[in-house]
A and B are shown apart, each in its own frame.
Chain A
Amino acid sequence: MTLTWLDWLLMLVYFAFVIGVGVALKRTTTTSAAFFQAGRAIPAWVCGLAFISANLGAQEIIGMAASGAKYGISTSHFYWVGAIPAMVFLGVFMMPFYYGSRARSVPEYLRLRFDEKTRGFNAISFALMTVFSSGISMYAMAKLLQILHIFDAPFAALGLGPEYIFHICVVSSAIVVLIYVLLGGLSSAIYNEVLQFFLIVAGFMPLVYLGLRDAGGWSGVSAAVPPSMTHAWRGFGSAATSPMGVDAFGVAMGLGFVLSFGYWCTDFLVVQRAMAADSMAAARRTPLIAAVPKMLFPFLVVLPGLIALSVHGGVIPLKMYEGTNRAVLDALGRPQLDYDLTVPTLLLRYFPTGMLGLGLTALLASFMSGMAGNVTAFNTVWTYDIYQAYLRPQASDAHYLRVGRLTTIFGIAASILTAYVAAQFNNIMDVLQLVFAFVNAPLLATFLLGMFWKRATGHGAFVGLVAGTAAAALHHGLTLPTGAIAGVKGGWLGSVATYPSEMAQNFWTAIDAWTVCFVVTIVVSLMTKPREDRELAGLVYSLTERPHDERLPWYRRPAIVGLLVIAGTFALNLVFF
């Protein structure tokens, strides 16, 4: 399969528009509030689409289809148990504190509610995490485009070897994101995320349609794969029979509560989109609006995995050792499938020239939206929570705007560097991601106690966070998934227990970290002096005036919309039970 002029032209149109949006917004981006917070002037539906798009990176598209091929429709637990309830909770209960406190970032909320050290801990770990995750996704995407071999011919025509595909993909996409973020800041990232959202849907919807048609519809898929793949909850009665190696309690508590609430309710990457809304009501509606398409996303991103298994006896290629024709074997000596190639394989199989260009552009768009999300969150946290807080307080607004732009350049350069480090040492990246998972899991307990228990203190929050992080590391160091070797996968302190799968280990590490943080924060808070009630107004539930929603029409009231979204998710769980 080779690309024709039409495919290139479609990609070019996309690039012209994303940069054009940046150029159009440049004129209004003259203050730091406009650059970092989009002037808090964006309508709810735009923030809502940006909210899901920022999370819809290439890793999500590729990873969810891969997981769909591995675990089947149970992968939708990440949406129907995980994301949706967390997004509803954020909109209905937590957004009033983020938006109402006038904090400019999530770490800044922690400073207002607790103290400087809790903010510092969160700001530094978050800033590092965004750079690394943007770098790692850059690496994954460039690697994928190189493996596909569709760019081999045009590169050869220019006299460049296939290894240049990696370099050019990394550098060119980084430059495009750099240009539009530099020009228009957060507004530009948000507007482009809406553009990317439409493009991702436009690129993948026909793929699912053609694939499903080829497979003979849902009944064809059901007939081709084992029943546990087409029923979301089959076997989840116990960890031994569950396809993911986790029982229903582990899914509900680990994924549904700790990991999902931890991500959707505290990660500044997504929360920043809602905080850019033009009013409190709009900020609260943002995650609820986002939840509606999110609810249907499994059909777009998980279903391709099942389709790829069903059509023509399965079309996912075998995993090969790099640069050889040798297949990678699993512990039982069976060849492994390269699940990450699920979506690209389907694109190349069903899309003729034209649609292929659109599909590839959609992949690029998903990759860029994820990257821009990381970059805008990074520049805000760095400038407000590290630079302004510790290095240079009291400077002029123009100075912080300049620092923000420089930070954007630095953040993207650091991401590129990370992409190359990832290409060299795969394990180092695994270790880093692990460390950040340890930092993030307990954070939810800190926020829940901070927002809903006025007695929680700064010392309590900080000690709780450190203890929770240590507990996560300890749990990981003492357990191992079945069949894994001690090291990055766990067991580096000695193996006390084994889990049936890596996912089970992740869920239980998160549950453990959350519980330790929750308990330690409470104990230390009770031993330390609380803050005066009047200092906590607008920051804690019991001391904050409830938003008045009664005058709004029903479809604008967060509680009602939230209930409808939850009911829809419940129905989807039942349909695919």
Chain B
Amino acid sequence: MDLDVRVPVGLMLAIMGALLVTYGLAGDRAIYTRSLGININAIWGSVLFATGDVLLLLARAAARRPRGRTLNEKRRDAAT
């Protein structure tokens, strides 16, 4: 099976987002004076988490569609 780049990108953003949200909700709030009182970890973390999930959903939808030539077939064609 070929690698859809949306899978690693989506997974990475989702994991990073989840880490930031968890820390933002559970951790010390005093650190946010730096970010003008905004809990930037929780807010931006959830944006990243959502973006990652959307990418993963798109990759899954693409994998279900009937597809044309696979990456390997295209490579074989390009090599010949």
Q: Could you list which residues of chain A lie within 8 angstroms of chain B, going by C-beta atoms?
A: 6, 9-10, 13-14, 17, 20-21, 24-25, 28, 31, 33-34, 37, 39-41, 46, 191, 194-195, 198-199, 202, 206, 210, 213-214, 278, 349-355, 358, 397
Once bound together, how far apart are the Cα atoms of A9 and B45, in whole Å? Answer: 14
27 contacts between A and B (CB under 8 A): A6-B19, A9-B19, A10-B20, A24-B8, A28-B2, A28-B72, A28-B75, A31-B75, A39-B74, A39-B78, A39-B79, A40-B78, A41-B74, A191-B5, A194-B9, A195-B5, A202-B51, A206-B40, A213-B36, A278-B74, A351-B35, A351-B40, A353-B23, A354-B20, A355-B35, A355-B44, A397-B79
Across the interface, name the chain B residue whose C-beta is closest to A21: B8
Q: Are B32 and A352 closer than 8 Å at their CB atoms?
A: yes
CB proximity of B46 to chain A, nearest CB, Å? 12
Q: Are B35 and A210 closer than 8 Å at their CB atoms?
A: yes
Once bound together, how far apart are the Cα atoms of A24 and B31, in whole Å? Answer: 39
Given A14-B12, A33-B79, the answer on whether A352 and B35 have CB atoms closer than 8 Å is yes
Across the interface, name the chain B residue whose C-beta is closest to A32: B79
User: Of B9, B34, B51, B74, which is within 8 A of A352 by CB?
Assistant: B34
Confirm or deny: B3 has a beta carbon within 8 angstroms of a beta carbon on chain A.
yes
Once bound together, how far apart are the Cα atoms of A330 and B60, in whole Å? Answer: 58
User: Of B8, B36, B48, which is within 8 A of A20 by CB?
Assistant: B8
CB proximity of A569 to chain B, nearest CB, Å? 26
Docked complex: B2-29 residues within 8 A CB-CB of A: 2-3, 5, 8-9, 11-13, 15-16, 19-20, 23-24, 27
A198 neighbours in B (Cβ, 8 Å) = 9, 12-13, 51
Q: Are A13 and B16 closer than 8 Å at their CB atoms?
A: yes
Q: Are A39 and B71 closer than 8 Å at their CB atoms?
A: yes
Across the interface, name the chain B residue whose C-beta is closest to A350: B35
CB proximity of A549 to chain B, nearest CB, Å? 20
Which 5 A/B pairs are nearest by Cβ-Cβ distance?
Answer: A39-B75, A41-B74, A352-B31, A354-B41, A40-B78
Confirm or deny: B63 has a beta carbon within 8 angstroms of a beta carbon on chain A.
no
Q: Are A13 and B74 closer than 8 Å at their CB atoms?
A: no
Q: Are B35 and A28 closer than 8 Å at their CB atoms?
A: no
Which of the listed residues A39, A202, A354 has the most CB atoms from chain B within 10 Å of its own CB? A354
Docked complex: B30-80 residues within 8 A CB-CB of A: 31-32, 34-36, 38, 40-41, 44-45, 48, 51, 71-72, 74-75, 78-79
Supplied contacts A352-B34, A354-B41, 9 more A-B pairs, CB within 8 Å: A6-B23, A31-B79, A33-B75, A40-B75, A191-B8, A194-B9, A350-B36, A354-B24, A358-B20
Q: Are B40 and A355 closer than 8 Å at their CB atoms?
A: yes
CB proximity of A207 to chain B, nearest CB, Å? 10
CB proximity of B59 to chain A, nearest CB, Å? 12
Across the interface, name the chain A residue whose C-beta is closest to B62: A43
A210 neighbours in B (Cβ, 8 Å) = 35-36, 38, 40
User: Of B9, B24, B36, which is within 8 A of A195 by CB?
Assistant: B9
Once bound together, how far apart are the Cα atoms of A397 and B2, in whole Å? Answer: 23
B45 neighbours in A (Cβ, 8 Å) = 354
Once bound together, how far apart are the Cα atoms of A214 and B38, in whole Å? Answer: 12
Once bound together, how far apart are the Cα atoms of A10 and B27, in whole Å? Answer: 16
Once bound together, how far apart are the Cα atoms of A14 and B11, in whole Å? Answer: 11
Across the interface, name the chain B residue whose C-beta is closest to A16: B12
B79 neighbours in A (Cβ, 8 Å) = 31, 33-34, 39, 397
B9 neighbours in A (Cβ, 8 Å) = 194-195, 198
Once bound together, how far apart are the Cα atoms of A469 and B80, in whole Å? Answer: 39
Given A10-B19, A39-B78, A352-B35, the answer on whether A28 and B71 have CB atoms closer than 8 Å is yes
Once bound together, how far apart are the Cα atoms of A199 and B24, in whole Å? Answer: 19
User: Of A6, A28, A37, A194, which is within 8 A of B5 by CB?
Assistant: A194
Once bound together, how far apart are the Cα atoms of A278 and B2, in whole Å? Answer: 14
Across the interface, name the chain A residue whose C-beta is closest to B44: A206
Q: Are B75 and A41 closer than 8 Å at their CB atoms?
A: yes
Q: Are A13 and B35 closer than 8 Å at their CB atoms?
A: no
Q: Are A351 and B19 closer than 8 Å at their CB atoms?
A: no
User: Of A21, A39, A358, which is within 8 A of B3 by CB?
Assistant: A21
CB proximity of B54 to chain A, nearest CB, Å? 12
B72 neighbours in A (Cβ, 8 Å) = 28
A20 neighbours in B (Cβ, 8 Å) = 8
Once bound together, how far apart are the Cα atoms of A570 and B19, in whole Å? Answer: 41
Q: Are B19 and A214 closer than 8 Å at their CB atoms?
A: no
Across the interface, name the chain B residue whose C-beta is closest to A201: B51
User: Of A10, A17, A41, which is within 8 A of B71 by CB?
Assistant: A41
Once bound together, how far apart are the Cα atoms of A28 and B8, in whole Å? Answer: 17
A37 neighbours in B (Cβ, 8 Å) = 78
A28 neighbours in B (Cβ, 8 Å) = 2, 71-72, 75
